[in-house]
Chain A
């Protein structure tokens, strides 16, 4: 199923395949990062350089490690966090993403528009949320644990 989608302010739950049209193409992992809303503010950084602020515009993708529910919300983030989003940790994807595919089996993104998708995954460690990006061959490309201000029941299998 192909579908143009417009993302409006606030979060919504998406459980069906959505293919977004390409606009400005980003390259590889440079277009992906983390969006950490667990500390009461939006901390958005690129994956490859923690010191560099993340996308100015784009999407945040939050995958519930428990049931796989996906929430998507726009970047920039309001100064006052949406209560539905406050406390979440997820991915930040540059506004230049080529395609985002959200399905029952997971979330895949083609950042550089070459037709090759990477998979986004989330699980819990005992300390917080682990974000991971894997290649189509299931090779881990990047992962990051974002600590939470409380301990969590681990769901990560390694």
Chain B
């Protein structure tokens, strides 16, 4: 086990030899941690501290303080090669062996950074977030929802928005990961996703499928059903929200007329409220409790 004599990183003593030890150890986890390998120069700068932070969050799965103290958890973790890291190394070895067998100098199907799997998910999925902001909706639908929302608020309806615009790239990553995981699409046949650096082809279908399963599993997107490439949410023309009120509801329709709703249920499934929503161009999909859209689908 490699040791340090004093603390390294944010607020640490940062003795040069200690910093070099940490930089070398961190470099062994660069792929898993999603950071670039460090120059082993014994200087604890921004990149070293950022790498410690990334290691503590992504590899250790804990909170980051940007510091490594002698004998504490981070130095212990840096000295342990986790199963996941070993698995990555095994995959790489296998790819290299496959390439060698196939033609000597044939390169693996992709560089390590963009290969699909748990490490890719951890490092990249947050780049493609979904939204629950009405401001992210598509232009004309946004104004319709905004007007309807104003009327709902003025009437005292409680509103909780759970989904508006779903990220097109995220949807595509999920779609293809699921297809590969289920064996429905050959990894080599996955088309390039514009603006996303990911390769589902590990050079061995079994490995590719295992890696895709990591991405769709509970520690990844946690998807059990085939995600779609297109939808009204993906085009910003749908909203999922939970609405509720008590007593009678008096709400203005688009014409500014008061509509009194006495009926139940006093939530987004109320058909009288659907009529009001329609005047604003926000149309209920009746079979789906929270879903309203530009065309009711």
Q: In the assembled complex, which residues on chain B have CB atoms less than 8 Å from the CB atom of A154?
A: 228
Q: Say yes or no: is B226 at the interface (Cβ < 8 Å to chain A).
A: yes
Q: Say yes or no: is B81 at the interface (Cβ < 8 Å to chain A).
A: no
Within 8 A of B (CB), among A138-152: 143, 145, 147-152
Q: Is the CB of A87 within 8 A of B287?
A: no
Q: Is the CB of A147 within 8 A of B288?
A: yes
Cα–Cα, bound, A48→B217 (Å): 32
Shortest Cβ gap from A55 to chain B (Å): 21
Q: Is the CB of B218 within 8 A of A124?
A: no
Shortest Cβ gap from A67 to chain B (Å): 9
Q: Is the CB of A147 within 8 A of B240?
A: yes
Shortest Cβ gap from B255 to chain A (Å): 30
Q: Is the CB of B287 within 8 A of A143?
A: yes
Q: Is the CB of B217 within 8 A of A150?
A: no
Q: Which of B29-37, B102-110, B289-297 interfaces with chain A? A: B289-297
Q: Is the CB of A152 within 8 A of B228?
A: yes
Shortest Cβ gap from A41 to chain B (Å): 12
Q: Please judge, given known A-B contacts A86-B218, A87-B218, whether A153 and B288 are in contact too, CB under 8 Å.
A: no
B171, B234, B290: the one within 8 Å of A147 (CB): B290
Residues of B in contact (CB 8 Å), total 28
Q: Say yes or no: is A21 at the interface (Cβ < 8 Å to chain B).
A: no
Cα–Cα, bound, A40→B221 (Å): 11
Q: Is the CB of B166 within 8 A of A150?
A: yes
Q: Is the CB of A150 within 8 A of B171?
A: yes
Cα–Cα, bound, A145→B287 (Å): 6
Q: Say yes or no: is A125 at the interface (Cβ < 8 Å to chain B).
A: yes
Q: Which label, helix, strand, loop or mixed, suits the secondary structure of the A interface?
A: loop
Q: In the assembled complex, which residues on chain B have CB atoms less than 8 Å from the CB atom of A143?
A: 287
Q: Is the CB of B290 within 8 A of A153?
A: no
Q: Say yes or no: is B112 at the interface (Cβ < 8 Å to chain A).
A: no
Q: In the assembled complex, which residues on chain B have CB atoms less than 8 Å from the CB atom of A148?
A: 223, 225
Q: Say yes or no: is A126 at the interface (Cβ < 8 Å to chain B).
A: yes
Shortest Cβ gap from B11 to chain A (Å): 36
Q: In the assembled complex, which residues on chain B have CB atoms less than 8 Å from the CB atom of A151?
A: 166, 171, 227-228, 230-231, 233-234
**Chain A, interface residues (CB within 8 Å), range:** 20 to 34
Q: Is the CB of B227 within 8 A of A152?
A: yes
Cα–Cα, bound, A145→B288 (Å): 5
Cα–Cα, bound, A89→B218 (Å): 14
Contact string against B for A residues 80-116, beta-carbon threshold 8 Å, 1 for contact and 0 otherwise: 0101001111000000000000000000000000000
Most chain A CB inside 10 Å of its own CB: which residue of B171, B221, B225, B240: B225
Q: In the assembled complex, which residues on chain B have CB atoms less than 8 Å from the CB atom of A124?
A: 225-226
Given A127-B231, A145-B287, A153-B226: 18 more A-B contacts, CB < 8 Å? A86-B222, A87-B218, A87-B223, A88-B224, A125-B288, A126-B231, A145-B289, A147-B290, A148-B223, A149-B163, A150-B171, A151-B166, A151-B231, A151-B233, A151-B234, A152-B227, A153-B227, A154-B228
Interface residues of B (CB under 8 A from A): 130, 163, 166, 171, 174, 217-218, 221-228, 230-234, 240, 285, 287-291, 297
Interface residues of A (CB under 8 A from B): 38, 40, 65-66, 81, 83, 86-89, 124-130, 143, 145, 147-154
| Closest 5 pairs between A and B when the two form their complex, measured CB to CB | A151-B231, A87-B224, A151-B228, A83-B218, A153-B226
**CB-defined A-B contacts under 8 Å, sample of 22:** A38-B224, A40-B222, A65-B225, A81-B218, A83-B217, A87-B222, A87-B223, A87-B224, A88-B224, A126-B231, A126-B232, A127-B285, A129-B225, A145-B288, A147-B288, A147-B290, A148-B225, A149-B163, A151-B166, A151-B233, A152-B228, A154-B228
